[in-house]
A and B are shown apart, each in its own frame.
Chain A
Amino acid sequence: MRAFVLFRLGGLLQIGVAVVTAGTRQPHSLAVVSLAAVITAESLGLVALAVRRHRVPPATLIALDVCLCVAGLFVGAVLARRQDAHSWGYFMYPYSLLAGVGIGLGMRPGLSLACGTGVLMGGYIGSALTELGDPVWNVIPNSLTYVCNIAIAAIVAHTLRRDGRNLDRLSMRLAHEESRRAREQERARQARLLHDRILQTLETLVRDDRKLDGVLRDRLVAETGWLRAFVRDGEAEPCDDLEEALRLLAEEKTLAGLRVELHSEQLRTAARGLPPPSVATVEAIVGAAREALTNVQKHAAVDRAVVRAELTDGEYIVTVLDHGRGFIADASAAGTGVRESIKARMAEAGGSGTVESGPGDGTYVELRLHATAPSTGDGGTGRRVGPGQR
């Protein structure tokens, strides 16, 4: 915008100097003064618009400006023909050279820019050849000055626009990041307060179980687990959907009285830089894990379970383990139902589910599902040898 205004004012200065300089030698006709006044008024109008809007005027106004310039070139040439055509009297040529920069600044590179440049060049060539009678060898090189000016202006404007867009993007990202950091800091502060004032005391009470009766202790265990999960969530690194979904599941079950330990660091590390799993993959795994945990709640007679999530050889492996009373999967109706349901759920998604259990041995559920996208292969970072892999 500033470049547009400065070049335009430079053009007007050119007119002012030309009119004053030529006027001192020979009085101007009314037509010359009128032309200078019209061009000045139009230019000041465009400058005012640019300053007010803080941007270069729209391409349509620039196109009208070009037309006026061309008309001015012809009128100026007719008026200058009566005088010395190469004196200050033909002020429209230098003015149009500077005004032409506006085309480069205001029009996007492309057909409209080429047309604007061509029209302005044509206007000059036509007026110089027909009205002033300048030789072709002089007119053609002169007209190329328009191309140079407009091309440089267009390149500069394009570069500035691109850098401006990048700057806007970066500023937006920075603002977003600062806002996120502020939220995290506030959350960390609240977490610190909750931790220092409440959580440590609650956990001490829970551990010292001689002082509490069963029901109250169970409730306290659930609430403490929830608070621990809430407080810890404040420091959680960005995680993929599967980990987040499992974390929510663990919190849900902890609130319901089953304390779920979720171990997902290996998954987070191995999945870093890979595309997230599909929604169907997450839903299948989390649905099956929920079923397994519900089974622990109902039948295992324990209040703890361990969920482990990993990504090994491009395969998501989620396990659910409890050290409860277990069941004989093949004989128990409930156990058969759970086993078949988990197997069917995983098979439907293209994976597999196994349930191992025996009286007194707890229950172990293993869910496996390959990452759906072919590019979600291991990539070398998470390739570890795990149980049952050999």
Chain B
Amino acid sequence: MLHIAVLDDHPVARHGLKSMLAALPDCDVAVSVASLDEARAALGDDPRIGLLVADLYLDGGRPSISAISEFAERLPVLVMSASARRADVIGAIRAGAAGYLTKSSSPELFRSAVMTVAAGGFFLAAELADLLQAELAASAATIEAVPRLSDREEETLSYIARGFTHAQIATRMHVRKSTIDTYVERIRTKLQVGNKADLTRAALRRADAAEPRPDTQ
């Protein structure tokens, strides 16, 4: 049984998440909280929690990137936010989130993301892959040091951005699905490589510059 914690300041969104998670096999929403303090207390009390599904904007104008970083050290974190801003998505992933979904994602995508992240994997949605490619292209043109993806990793990222599943990509690239999983995991590692505190600070700086509050979207 997978015990899940839900963190979202919006009661309707929390209700919706609980409803969807409850429909998944062998899943149980053990904690449903609206604030970071409540989440810290609840997660501290309950070591069984195996996954945190968290909103990025919690009753404020700034993304909770540092909180994602804090929670990600203890358990897999799937971020589910209304924001599709590149700074938010990249910031959350670099802070250690194992997946990022926008609130317009389909139930199928949500279920798939929950299962992947709960199993310790990295869930790379098509929307996120598109953002990552744009970010890598933009970063490569600046002085910011970013690890370069290999050609195969880049190809994988592009196929994911086009909406292909890992199995379909494997067929197109004439490799096994596990190889694609490995490429995706390497992409994650390269994104999160380096001094994590520095990356988090950089993401926070970018997020600070992002106005107005994107959670309205």
Contact = CB atoms under 8 A, between A and B. Distances in A.
A185 B213 CA distance: 11
Contacts of A383: 137
B126 interface: yes
Nearest to A209: B107
B214 A208 contact: no
A308 B103 contact: no
B107 to A, nearest CB: 5
Contacts of B158: 310, 384-387
Given A266-B134, A381-B138, A232 B217 contact: yes
Contacts of A386: 154-155, 158
A265 B130 contact: yes
Given A209-B107, A263-B127, A200 B10 contact: yes
Nearest to B210: A235
A382 interface: yes
B106 interface: yes
A389 B154 CA distance: 11
A234 interface: yes
B137 A270 contact: yes
A387 B217 contact: no
Contacts of B159: 387
B103 A200 contact: yes
A261 B137 contact: no
Interface in A194-211: 195-196, 200-201, 203-204, 207-210
B contact face: mostly helix, strand, loop, or mixed: helix
B87 to A, nearest CB: 12
Interface in A245-301: 259, 261, 263-266, 268-270
A49 interface: no
Nearest to A322: B163
Interface string A320-333: 01010000000000
A308 B163 contact: yes
B216 A188 contact: yes
Contacts of A207: 16, 19-20, 107, 110
B106 A204 contact: no
A234 B215 CA distance: 12
A231 B217 contact: yes
B155 A387 contact: yes
B151 A385 contact: yes
A192 to B, nearest CB: 4
A390 interface: yes
Contacts of B141: 380-381
B58 to A, nearest CB: 14
Interface string B134-149: 1111101100000000
Interface string A215-226: 000000000110
A381 B137 contact: yes
B217 A234 contact: yes
Contacts of B85: 235
B133 to A, nearest CB: 5
A308 B137 contact: no
Interface residues of A, number: 50
Contacts of B151: 385, 390
A63 interface: no
Contacts of A361: 168
Interface in B45-104: 82, 84-86, 103-104
Given A201-B12, A231-B216, A263 B130 contact: yes
B139 to A, nearest CB: 10
A209 B10 CA distance: 20
A367 to B, nearest CB: 12
A304 interface: yes
A333 B57 CA distance: 51
A337 B76 CA distance: 48
Contacts of B2: none
B12 A261 contact: no
A265 B86 contact: yes
B212 A185 contact: yes
B161 A266 contact: yes
Interface string B5-26: 0000010110110011001000
Contacts of B134: 265-266, 268-270
B172 interface: yes
A222 to B, nearest CB: 13
Interface in B144-200: 151, 154-155, 158-159, 161-165, 168, 172-173
Interface of B: 10, 12-13, 15-16, 19-20, 23, 82, 84-86, 103-104, 106-107, 110, 126-127, 129-131, 133-138, 140-141, 151, 154-155, 158-159, 161-165, 168, 172-173, 212-217
**Lowest 8 A-B CB distances belong to which pairs?**
A306-B163, A204-B16, A192-B216, A263-B130, A269-B134, A265-B134, A321-B163, A386-B158
21 contacts: A188-B216, A201-B12, A203-B103, A204-B19, A228-B104, A235-B85, A261-B163, A264-B130, A265-B130, A266-B133, A269-B138, A270-B134, A306-B163, A310-B161, A384-B154, A385-B151, A386-B155, A387-B158, A387-B159, A387-B172, A390-B155
Interface of A: 185, 188, 191-192, 195-196, 200-201, 203-204, 207-210, 224-225, 228, 231-232, 234-235, 259, 261, 263-266, 268-270, 304-306, 308, 310, 319, 321, 323, 361, 364, 380-387, 389-390
Given A265-B130, A270-B134, A383-B137, 6 more contacts: A208-B19, A235-B217, A261-B127, A263-B129, A381-B138, A385-B151
